[in-house]
Structure 1
Amino acid sequence: MKRYLGLPLVALAVSGCAYFSPRQTFVDPPEPPAADQNRYADFKVPEQDETLAAFEDPALAGLRATSLSKFRSEEEFKDWIRATREAADARGIGRPYPVLSAPAPTADMAMAVGTPAPAAEAAPSQEVTVTGSAVPGSADNPEITNNQKAGVDEGGIIKQIGQHLVILQDGRLFVTDLMPGGEPGLKLADRANVYRSSHEDTWYDEVLVAGRTILVTGYSYREEATEYTVLNLGEDGKVTRQATFYISSNDYYSGSNYATRMIDGKLVIHTPIYLVGRGWWDELEIPVIREWRQEEGDGFRERTELEDGRPLFSATDIWMPVQQTLKPVIHTVTVCDIAGVSDGTVPACKATAIVGTETHEFLVTKDAFWLWMSPTDDERERDLGERARYPECSEGPRPQLADLAPSALVRLPTDGAKPAVLGVRGAPQNQFSMDMDAGTFRAVLDWRHRDCDSWDSKDEADLTFFDVPLSELDDVFHDTAGGRYFDLPTPGASDYEARFTEKHLVYGAREGWGSWPPGDGETRDAGRAIIVPVDAPDQPVTVELTHDVIRAERAGPYMALTGYHDNKGLSLSLIDLRAEPRISGTITLKGRYESESRSHAFNSGIGADGAGLIGLPTVPRSEEADRWWWWSASSDMSYIAAAPDGGLAEAGMLDATRRDPQLPSETGYTCEVSCIDWYGNARPIFTGGRVLALINSELVEGRVEDGKVTEIGRIDLTAPLAD
């Protein structure tokens, strides 16, 4: 099993105790030489001042560009890596850098960036019509998962194409017909392997749809690349494979975010390429896109004439870093048109690459990919000597703007246009801490002193609201912070959940980053939620809760917050945002505990009048609430009814057929590949006026009767496929 998990960043703050803090000094890099010169051919890093952090030391200024510019040649890129490695070694930052092994730019490279192979070389292909119907609410692909941004479909485990649901599990696609024989019902229409061999070392995680095209994302450790399989769903619900292609990358897995997006029928992906932390035996290779053909007997494919693939970009396509960084990462955003892809072609892709920091969060909107990049702990460290007292990070007043390490906000347009940058301060904790709407980028930021590392914690988080009009981003990076910053009330604990709507930011907190309930006899302090009008961030409203906050999700005109007060059950509160923000209702599900933490595990079907259902996975035992990402047992699906005034009532449950995932299947079904449900396996689904639930390997339908959801149908996805 190869999956590597990292703990989420802990929100930190610092004290305002007196201590020695040298004045931050920034200098611009020297004027660049003539356009045909290699700026780093004989570049020597001056002696560094370790009383200054790496991100501010003038000795390192020559390793960055203050305005957006690209490397001038492959040799210049190599020499920049050499100089950066030497500077990092001198400061003791990072592990060995890889040796650069990048092909020299050739005419063939141009085909890699947005141009398909010439027609004469391509094998005959079956035409695929992609209608751009991934638009929310379209007839072909209704939005049935809890996506962050409208018009941006996120990779998940279940999607809808017409009257069929497409479910990804165990490296297989399970297709369910919702209208068999033209009548509402449930029938397994097809089961198709995405993988080609039971010996594959690949994890298949995410499915996307556009029209009748299906795209499945996985990571292949054998190929050291992200694998994309393009399939088509026929009107009869049968799946046919069209192509498999690879883009070389590090593993994309995240415990909370989703790696892939679909925008207007085009795949949008982020592939960071880490330039430190690799073994001395590794060579750095420019990422390539390639396809495999000619199926062998064991299911593996021989590489074609495109054995080495087509580079997504050359060294001269890479935008230089605008921040001083000694742990650089090439952040690559690739947009691929999958229309017409067949077994003999690779999709036309355009890639934008920029060097930035290892610490980053990203947000995807309909026309841009947003990166917030901050110095790593190593790059913030400095030696203040015995005469200085370091800040006491666990207590004290809020740090000031000048005390915070500079970050960069980068906008990478998905149409391949030139990026734009802005110098900023602070750091968002995840993608949900950022939003872009109506020409303004917004974020809620962890606000901690530059001398506090990731493990220093404070009982109550210091948070700041940030906004900036898009017009302020340009091609020049200033060390002074752009945008506006507003102090926010503490949520009352160290870790928090935040969500944006078009008009509000809502956040609440819990003690510790996990989502488990208290132990026997334990209670947690009453929580609070802070509602911030995005047009008036200096006028936040605080409301008191009876529980802490482990989840915050948008649900129609409400913000839904879940959490615990004690171990007797899960509580859910609605904040009505239609007028003056208020808690409209709170309910506790006695003896039930939330069992999945990803955003897609929550869903709601609430109408314009504020009435409807909320669904989320729960389990009956508190010790199973913290299921982690690799726990593949079944959850039940709990439902809560919202009244037009936001009042709440229990609305029943669709039960799982409990089976130990380690025991043999009763149907004889065997999983061969990708047998751990890293993304969870339970999803509430509201579509076409119907109430459905994916519960592990079962799809269950319910009907609302007398205010309760009762079961009316169920199919086992692992049962033998009927003729």
Structure 2
Amino acid sequence: MSIARLLAVGLISSALVSCAVAEAQNSISRPRSEVGLYNFDDSESFEVFARRMQGLQREGRERGDGTIVVTGAMAESAAPPAPAPPPAAMAMEVSADASAPEQITNTQEAGVDEGAIVKDAGEYLVILRRGRIFTVRHGDSSLEPIDAANAFPPDAESPGDTWYDEMLVRGDQVIVVGYSYGDFGTEINRFRLGRDGSLTYRDTHYLRSGDYYSSSNYASRMIGDELIFYAPVYLNWSNWRSTMPALRRGGPDGEVVDLVDPNDIYVTERARRGKHVLPVAHAVTRCDLSVRELDCDATAVLGSWSRVFYVSPQAVYLWAGALDYSDEDNDGQLYRMPLDGSRPGAVPVNGSPIDQFSFTEDRQDNVLRVVLRGDDRGAGMWGSEFSSGDVGLLTVPLGAFTDGSEHLPRRALRELPSVDGWRFHNRFVGDYLLYAAASYGNEDEASFMYAAPVDGRPAQRLDLEHGVTRFDIMGADAVAIGPARDNALGFSSVSLGQSARVEDVYLLPRASEGEQRSQAFFYRPDPGSPGGLSGTLGLPVSRVRHGTGGEFLGNAAAIFFLRRDEREFAPAGQLVSREKSGVDDNCIASCVDWYGNARPIFLRDRIFALMGYEIVEGEMVNGGIREVRRARFNPPVRRASRED
């Protein structure tokens, strides 16, 4: 698709298609003083709208257009009962003598934590792997496995139906997030971390949702005491009450609580006319971790299947594709869903971002910037690995998010130099957008990148000695990483001042990336280094040739450390895994490392390498890393006891 098609200009108007639509539209409203999407006045107005959706769904089946209807246990269950009164709030206990935990996860946004496979919890590292949680004590210069427990409820009947993917830690709470194919949707299990490192099961909740999995993004975020989820909820309009966002407390017989009422459900100006079936409720759920009983509420926008989302400290941004690509007047929508629960807004769009790194919210300029390609599959499952078409940079003023009918002016979209290849990598670093593309397995043949200043100055092409499979941040600069010729792995340090410049290059012989997740990389600036010009980076590496696909599930043989002194690279060496492949760990659930299994960990003045069931501590001596000690924390494990 050409870049000219990415942005439509002008307003769209159309007649209402039926009396039922007119009736529904009149009861989908917003206060005159507010700007944003329309919500439903009451249950009766939503019923009218639902009947219109049912009619369109039937028409689609008669035409054989492939409209998908959710069936199975969720669709057949009875309507959820009215929610019970919430329990009295009780403050969570936090270990008073625990050291303050450190952020060891390479997150996209400062202050927005992401679900991960390892977290610091003061005196302990907490690790999630293959359906189990492990604690390893690191306080007082120790490295000692303490406890292990299954990541699922003690009475779980079919834990193998669930993938336990992400974990967050807040105070003494360990929160494990999984997706259950055999149950209600997103599973949230909470454990209490004792002062002695023990794990005690607390409770389980389920969010009704579709599969949140993405090869690049993460389903959960945490800001302070607030746990945040984005998930698509696939609607069956014939029985919509049983497929709307809801929370279930406990197992199959647990209480089901609606998370949205009609006032929490939003549509665009065009969608409220009822011309197209809206198959998905895109739900942002916020849960308060400061009270004993998990207390959640949600906001939902009704839209299309395609989705790419990004979480800033202020809002969740969701890019959804067009509902009907055969309709020239039917655009996609970019939604802004504020985290304070206020009214969402939207703006019509075309094209698609690639993944969460295609977005950045600039609070200084009060805009959202998004890099686009002409054709993309969204970020669900493996969609972010495939894209094509021209490249553009869209700048959206935050005030432009209204009812989804007001198109941006053409000047909002800036055309950028095109790149060939369906595997596209992008990252905003400082005042620059960095991007590159190639075909999978042949990235070393596309040894260049573009650095586009966001202020409108021309994009620069930077020639490299390697291809690009990762961009990340090193202080005020950037690093480009990717395969080079002769099976080497290349690292390029890129400064981003008035112009972009490759400052130094290092090629690691006979190596490839062992992990492709953003959290697999970490750069720690040296204390007192201006702009982080000096520091150490860590990255899982493999001796398997790039292009075999192993990096998507984790195949690291070591964590490689690279020193940077005043922008000049010097290899610091590796901490190597001694794990033997094929050893039976009696895995019960989540027996594939979808989020990888290796991470570099910089914790205060110490350095660790997590690789499978091993954690190795290293020490930097004269610019080189040497092993100090290692610990294995592999099973057997016990089922966590219930909290009294």
With the shorter chain as reference, the TM-score category is 0.7 to 0.9
Does residue 194 (structure 1) correspond to residue 145 (structure 2)? The answer is no
Task: Provide, for residues 9-44 of structure 1, a one-character-per-residue CA deviation record: whole Å limited to 9, x for no partner.
Answer: xxx65899xxxxx99994245499899955699xxx
Maintained 8 Å contact 2:352/2:376: no
The residue number in structure 2 matching 1:288 is 246
From 593, 608, 612, the equivalent of 2:512 is 593
Task: Provide, for residues 298-334 of structure 1, a one-character-per-residue CA deviation record: whole Å limited to 9, x for no partner.
Answer: xxx5735x2xx11112345321344554453111111
Does residue 715 (structure 1) correspond to residue 631 (structure 2)? The answer is yes
User: How far apart are 1:216 and its partner, in Å?
Assistant: 0.6
Maintained 8 Å contact 1:468/1:482: no
| CA distance in 1: counterparts of 2:252 and 2:633, whole angstroms | 32
Does residue 561 (structure 1) correspond to residue 480 (structure 2)? The answer is yes
| CA distance in 2: counterparts of 1:259 and 1:78, whole angstroms | 28
Residue identity in the other structure for 2:562: I
| CA distance in 2: counterparts of 1:68 and 1:449, whole angstroms | 28
Residue identity in the other structure for 1:656: S
Q: Pick closer, same or farther for the CA change 1:163–1:375 going to 2, 3 Å.
A: same
| CA distance in 1: counterparts of 2:432 and 2:449, whole angstroms | 12
From 130, 146, 149, the equivalent of 1:170 is 130
Aligned residue for 1:411, secondary structure, equals strand
Maintained 8 Å contact 2:166/2:178: yes
Aligned residue for 2:445, secondary structure, equals coil
Residue identity in the other structure for 1:447: G
| CA distance in 1: counterparts of 2:93 and 2:20, whole angstroms | 48
| CA distance in 1: counterparts of 2:341 and 2:387, whole angstroms | 43
Q: Pick closer, same or farther for the CA change 1:329–1:659 going to 2, 3 Å.
A: same
Aligned residue for 1:447, secondary structure, equals strand
| CA distance in 1: counterparts of 2:437 and 2:329, whole angstroms | 23
| CA distance in 2: counterparts of 1:368 and 1:437, whole angstroms | 12
Does residue 414 (structure 1) correspond to residue 349 (structure 2)? The answer is no
From 329, 332, 353, the equivalent of 2:280 is 329
The residue number in structure 1 matching 2:394 is 466
Q: Pick closer, same or farther for the CA change 1:479–1:627 going to 2, 3 Å.
A: same
The residue number in structure 2 matching 1:423 is 348
Task: Provide, for residues 353-408 of structure 1, a one-character-per-residue CA deviation record: whole Å limited to 9, x for no partner.
Answer: 110111121111112111111216xx2136xxxxxxxxxxxxxxxxxxxx997322
Maintained 8 Å contact 1:486/1:538: no
User: How far apart are 1:98 and its partner, in Å?
Assistant: 4.7
Q: Pick closer, same or farther for the CA change 1:526–1:419 going to 2, 3 Å.
A: closer
Return 236-245 or 264-273, whichever deviates more. Answer: 236-245
The residue number in structure 1 matching 2:40 is 70
| CA distance in 1: counterparts of 2:423 and 2:21, whole angstroms | 49
From 577, 580, 593, the equivalent of 1:677 is 593
The residue number in structure 2 matching 1:641 is 563
Aligned residue for 1:671, secondary structure, equals coil
| CA distance in 1: counterparts of 2:396 and 2:407, whole angstroms | 16
Does residue 549 (structure 1) correspond to residue 496 (structure 2)? The answer is no
Maintained 8 Å contact 1:550/1:562: yes
Task: Provide, for residues 248-294 of structure 1, a one-character-per-residue CA deviation record: whole Å limited to 9, x for no partner.
Answer: 21121111110001111111001211237x9x9999522321222xx
Q: Pick closer, same or farther for the CA change 1:28–1:429 going to 2, 3 Å.
A: same
| CA distance in 2: counterparts of 1:517 and 1:449, whole angstroms | 20
Maintained 8 Å contact 1:226/1:247: yes
* 1:673-712 paired onto structure 2 within 5 Å: 673-712=589-628
| CA distance in 1: counterparts of 2:333 and 2:176, whole angstroms | 32
* 1:360-375 paired onto structure 2 within 5 Å: 360-375=307-322
Residue identity in the other structure for 2:111: G
| Residue segments in structure 2 that go unaligned for 5+ positions in a row | 28-34, 639-644
| CA distance in 1: counterparts of 2:326 and 2:412, whole angstroms | 27
| Residue segments in structure 1 that go unaligned for 5+ positions in a row | 1-11, 17-21, 42-64, 120-124, 132-137, 293-300, 383-402, 519-523
| CA distance in 2: counterparts of 1:663 and 1:198, whole angstroms | 26
Maintained 8 Å contact 1:220/1:227: yes
| CA distance in 1: counterparts of 2:458 and 2:329, whole angstroms | 24
Give the TM-score normalised by the residue count of structure 2: 0.84
Give the TM-score normalised by the residue count of structure 1: 0.76
| CA distance in 2: counterparts of 1:604 and 1:483, whole angstroms | 36
The residue number in structure 1 matching 2:231 is 271
Maintained 8 Å contact 2:125/2:138: yes
Maintained 8 Å contact 1:440/1:470: yes
| CA distance in 2: counterparts of 1:206 and 1:557, whole angstroms | 29
- When the two structures are aligned, how many residues end up with a matched partner? 604
| CA distance in 1: counterparts of 2:58 and 2:336, whole angstroms | 30
Residue identity in the other structure for 2:619: R
Return 479-488 or 674-683, whichever deviates more. Answer: 479-488
Does residue 143 (structure 1) correspond to residue 108 (structure 2)? The answer is no
The residue number in structure 1 matching 2:538 is 615
From 243, 249, 256, the equivalent of 2:216 is 256
Task: Provide, for residues 477-535 of structure 1, a one-character-per-residue CA deviation record: whole Å limited to 9, x for no partner.
Answer: 2256577111112245443211113422111222x2x3x467xxxxx43522222222x
User: How far apart are 1:560 and its partner, in Å?
Assistant: 1.2
User: How far apart are 1:104 and its partner, in Å?
Assistant: 7.5
| CA distance in 2: counterparts of 1:458 and 1:36, whole angstroms | 40
| CA distance in 1: counterparts of 2:572 and 2:429, whole angstroms | 26
| CA distance in 2: counterparts of 1:470 and 1:15, whole angstroms | 23
Task: Provide, for residues 192-242 of structure 1, a one-character-per-residue CA deviation record: whole Å limited to 9, x for no partner.
Answer: 222224742221110011222211101222313211111222222222222
The residue number in structure 1 matching 2:257 is 310
Maintained 8 Å contact 1:105/1:314: no
CA RMSD of aligned residues (A): 3.8
From 351, 359, 371, the equivalent of 2:306 is 359
The residue number in structure 2 matching 1:27 is 13
User: How far apart are 1:130 and its partner, in Å?
Assistant: 6.8
Q: Pick closer, same or farther for the CA change 1:448–1:247 going to 2, 3 Å.
A: closer
| CA distance in 2: counterparts of 1:225 and 1:458, whole angstroms | 26
Q: Pick closer, same or farther for the CA change 1:363–1:139 going to 2, 3 Å.
A: farther
Residue identity in the other structure for 2:600: P
Q: Pick closer, same or farther for the CA change 1:374–1:161 going to 2, 3 Å.
A: same
Task: Provide, for residues 415-455 of structure 1, a one-character-per-residue CA deviation record: whole Å limited to 9, x for no partner.
Answer: 211111122332111111011021210011113599xxx99
Maintained 8 Å contact 2:392/2:414: yes
Aligned residue for 1:409, secondary structure, equals strand
Identity %: 30
Q: Pick closer, same or farther for the CA change 1:24–1:153 going to 2, 3 Å.
A: closer
Return 418-427 or 142-151, whichever deviates more. Answer: 418-427
| CA distance in 2: counterparts of 1:143 and 1:475, whole angstroms | 38
Whichever structure has more strand as a proportion of its residues is 2
Q: Pick closer, same or farther for the CA change 1:35–1:220 going to 2, 3 Å.
A: closer
Aligned residue for 2:50, secondary structure, equals helix
* 1:105-144 paired onto structure 2 within 5 Å: 108-109=82-83, 117-119=86-88, 127-129=91-93, 140-144=100-104
Q: Pick closer, same or farther for the CA change 1:677–1:71 going to 2, 3 Å.
A: farther
Q: Pick closer, same or farther for the CA change 1:650–1:541 going to 2, 3 Å.
A: same
Residue identity in the other structure for 1:375: A
Return 712-721 or 207-216, whichever deviates more. Answer: 712-721
Maintained 8 Å contact 1:213/1:232: yes
The residue number in structure 2 matching 1:381 is 326
**Structure possessing the higher radius of gyration over alpha carbons:** 1
| CA distance in 1: counterparts of 2:493 and 2:437, whole angstroms | 15
| CA distance in 2: counterparts of 1:242 and 1:460, whole angstroms | 46
From 60, 63, 66, the equivalent of 1:88 is 60
The residue number in structure 2 matching 1:539 is 458
The residue number in structure 2 matching 1:487 is 415
From 159, 178, 193, the equivalent of 1:218 is 178
The residue number in structure 2 matching 1:447 is 374
Q: Pick closer, same or farther for the CA change 1:719–1:447 going to 2, 3 Å.
A: closer
| CA distance in 2: counterparts of 1:79 and 1:282, whole angstroms | 10
Q: Pick closer, same or farther for the CA change 1:552–1:322 going to 2, 3 Å.
A: farther
Does residue 230 (structure 1) correspond to residue 190 (structure 2)? The answer is yes
User: How far apart are 1:191 and its partner, in Å?
Assistant: 1.2
User: How far apart are 1:555 and its partner, in Å?
Assistant: 2.0
| CA distance in 2: counterparts of 1:504 and 1:141, whole angstroms | 32
